[in-house]
A and B are shown apart, each in its own frame.
Chain A
Amino acid sequence: MLLVVGPSGSGKSTLARAIAGLVPRDVPGEWSGSLQVGTLETATAAPAEVAARVGILFQDPGSQLVMDRAADDVAFGLENRAWPLAAMRARVPDALGAAGLGGFERRRGARLSGGEQQRLALAGVEAPWPAVLVLDEPTANLDPAGATALFERLALIKAERRTTVVLVEHRADLAWPMADLLLALDATGTPIDLGVPADVLARSGDRLAREGIWLPGDVSSRPPARPEIRVPPVASAGSTIGAGPDLVELHGVRFEYVPGRPVVRDIALGIGPGERVALVGPNGGGKSTLLRLIAGLVRPRLGSVHLNGLDPARLRAPRLAELVGYVFQDPELGFLADTVAGEISLGLDLASNHRATDLLERLGLSLERFGGRSPYRLSGGEQRRLSVATALARRPRLLVLDEPTFGQDRRGWEAMAAIVDELVGEGTAVIAATHDARFAATVARRRIEMADGWVVADDGPHRGSAASQRVTDA
Chain B
Amino acid sequence: MLSPIDLTAAQERSLLGRTSPLVKLALALAWLVGLAFTLKAGPPVLLTGVAIAAGLVLGRVPPARLVRGLAPLALVAASIALANLLFSASNTNPSSIEFARIGPLRLTREAAEVAAALGARVLAIVSVGAVFAQTTDPTSLVDALVQQGHVSARFAYGALAAYQAVPRLGEDLATLRHARRIRGLGASWHPRLVIGLLIRAIRHADQLALAMDARAFGSGPRTTFRPIAWRWADLLVCLGGLAALGIAMSL
A79 touches B207 (CB 8 A): no
- Is B208 within 8 A of A85, CB to CB? no
User: A48-B219, A376-B199 are known contacts. Are A333 and B179 too (CB-CB below 8 A)?
Assistant: yes
The distance in angstroms between the C-alpha atoms of A81 and B219, with both chains bound, is 8
A426-448 CB contacts (< 8 Å) to partner B: none
Q: How far is the CB of B69 from chain A (nearest CB, A)?
A: 16
The winner among A55, A63, A326 for most chain B CB atoms within 10 A is A63
B192 close to chain A: CB less than 8 A: yes
Nearest Cβ distance between residue B94 and chain A, in whole angstroms?
Answer: 53
Residues on the B chain within 8 Å of A376, using CB: 199
The 7 closest A-B pairs by CB, nearest first: A48-B219, A321-B184, A51-B216, A75-B225, A64-B211, A334-B179, A77-B215
Contacts of B182 in A (CB 8 A): 295, 297, 317, 320-321, 324-326, 334
Q: Closest approach, in angstroms, between the C-beta of A395 and any C-beta of chain B?
A: 13
CB nearest neighbor in A for B204: A63
Cβ contact within 8 Å between A72 and B167? no
Please tell me if the beta carbons of A48 and B220 are within 8 angstroms of each other in the complex.
Answer: yes
Question: B3: which A residues are within 8 A, CB to CB?
Answer: 110
A32 to B137, CA, bound (A): 47
Interface assignment of B250: CB less than 8 Å from any CB of chain A: no
Contact of A290 with B by CB under 8 A:
no
> B164 at interface (Cβ–Cβ under 8 A)?
yes
Per the 8 Å Cβ criterion, residues 63-121 of A in contact with B are 63-69, 71-72, 75-85, 88-89, 92, 108-110, 121
Measured CB to CB, the closest approach of chain A to B206, in angstroms, equals 9
CB distance from B52 to the nearest CB of A (A): 26
**CB-based contact B210/A26 at 8 Å:** yes
Choose among B160, B183, B213, B226 the residue that contacts A22 (Cβ–Cβ < 8 A).
B213
CB of B211 within 8 A of CB of A66, answer yes
How far is A20 from B212 in the complex, measured between Cα atoms in Å? 12
- In chain A, residues 369-395, which have Cβ atoms closer than 8 Å to a Cβ of chain B? 376, 390
Known: A79-B222, A317-B184, A334-B179. A72 touches B139 (CB 8 A): yes
Q: Residues of A with Cβ closer than 8 Å to B?
A: 17, 20, 22, 26, 46-48, 51-52, 54-56, 58, 60, 62-69, 71-72, 75-85, 88-89, 92, 108-110, 121, 124-125, 128, 292, 295, 297, 317-318, 320-322, 324-326, 328, 330, 332-336, 346-347, 376, 390
Which residue of chain B is the closest to A60 with respect to CB atoms?
Answer: B207
B14-34 CB contacts (< 8 Å) to partner A:
none
Instruction: Report the Cα distance A60→B212, complex, angstroms.
Output: 14
Q: Find chain B residues with CB under 8 A from A110 CB.
A: 3, 164, 167
Partner of A330, one of B175, B181, B184, B212: B175
Across the interface, which residues of A come within 8 angstroms of B216, CB to CB?
A: 47-48, 51-52, 77, 80-81, 128
Select B139's contact among A67, A82, A320, A321, beta carbons within 8 Å.
Answer: A67
- Cross-interface CB contact of B224 among A20, A79, A92, cutoff 8 Å: A79
Please give the distance in Å from B4's CB to the nearest CB on chain A: 6
Q: A64-B208, A333-B196 are in contact. Are A320 and B214 (CB under 8 A)?
A: no
Q: With A51-B219, A317-B187 known to touch, is A78 a contact of B181 (CB < 8 Å)?
A: no
Give Cα A20–Cα B216 distance, bound, in whole angstroms.
Answer: 11
Is B72 on the interface with A (CB-CB < 8 A)? Answer: no
- Give Cα distance in the complex from A125 to B211, angstroms: 10
Given A88-B225, A330-B175: A109 and B209 within 8 A (CB)?
A: no
Instruction: Give CA–CA (A63, B165) in the complex, Å.
Output: 8
In the complex, which of the residues B165, B184, B218 has the most CB atoms of chain A within 10 Å of its own CB atom? B184
B161 in contact (CB, < 8 A): yes
Set of chain A residues within 8 Å of B138, measured between Cβ atoms: 68
Contacts of A346 in B (CB 8 A): 183
> CA A52 – CA B137 in complex, angstroms?
30
- Set of chain B residues within 8 Å of A69, measured between Cβ atoms: 139
Cα separation A60 to B211 with both chains bound (whole Å)? 11
Q: Which residue of A lies closest to B214 (CB)?
A: A56
- The residues of A that contact B192 with a CB separation of less than 8 Å are 336
Measured CA separation A46–B216 after assembly (Å): 10
23 A-B pairs with C-beta separation under 8 A: A48-B220, A51-B213, A63-B168, A63-B207, A64-B211, A67-B160, A68-B137, A79-B224, A80-B215, A81-B216, A82-B220, A82-B223, A85-B223, A108-B4, A292-B178, A297-B178, A297-B182, A317-B181, A320-B184, A321-B183, A326-B182, A334-B182, A335-B179
CB atoms of B181 and A333 under 8 A apart: no
CA distance A60 to B168 in the complex (A): 13
Mark B174-204 against chain A: 1 for CB-CB distance below 8 A, else 0: 0110111111111100001000100110011
A291 to chain B, nearest CB (A): 10
Give A30 to B213 CA distance when docked, in angstroms: 20
Q: How far is the CA of A317 from the CA of B185 in the complex (A)?
A: 6
* Contact residues in A for B185 (Cβ distance below 8 Å): 317, 336, 347
**Given the complex, which residues of B lie within 8 Å of A67, measured CB to CB?**
139, 157, 160-161
What is the minimal beta-carbon distance from B189 to any residue of chain A, in angstroms? 14
Further pairs besides A48-B220, A85-B223: 17, Cβ < 8 Å = A46-B219, A52-B216, A54-B214, A55-B214, A66-B160, A76-B217, A80-B215, A82-B222, A108-B4, A320-B182, A326-B178, A328-B178, A334-B175, A336-B183, A346-B183, A347-B183, A347-B184
In the complex with contacts A68-B138, A85-B227, A297-B215 CB distance below 8 A: no
Contacts of B180 in A (CB 8 A): 317, 336
- Residues from chain A with a CB closer than 8 A to the CB of B104 are none
Which residues of A lie under 8 Å from residue B223 when comparing CB positions? 78-79, 82-85, 88
- Which residues of B have CB within 8 Å of A77? 215-216
By a CB distance below 8 angstroms, the chain B residues around A75 are 225
Q: Decide: B215 and A62 in contact? CB cutoff 8 A.
A: no
Q: Does the CB pair A85–B219 fall under 8 Å? A: no
Please report which residues of chain B, range 103-157, place their CB below 8 angstroms from some CB of chain A when the two chains form the complex. Answer: 137-139, 157
Q: Give B193 Cβ to nearest chain A Cβ, in Å.
A: 10
